[in-house]
Amino acid sequence: MQALTPELAMRDAGSYLRWLSDHPQTADGPVGVTGYRVACESAPVL
């Protein structure tokens, strides 16, 4: 398993946001993220 670095987290966040923007069910506007990881680290802030 590979460690989650800030660079990988930002790459994944960008991919997820692009995926969302391609779908007609989503609207333009801000995106919020909440949650936590098992390792008790904060979720990335988008």
- Mean pLDDT by 10-residue block, N- to C-terminus, for the chain (46 residues)? 82 87 88 65 54
The predicted structure's pLDDT at residue 39 = 56
- Report the C-alpha gap between 40 and 1 in whole angstroms: 18
The predicted structure's pLDDT at residue 28 = 86
pTM: 0.53
Residue 21, class by beta-carbon neighbours within 10 Å (0-12 exposed, 13-18 middle, 19+ buried)? Answer: exposed
Structural domain spans, the chain: 1-46
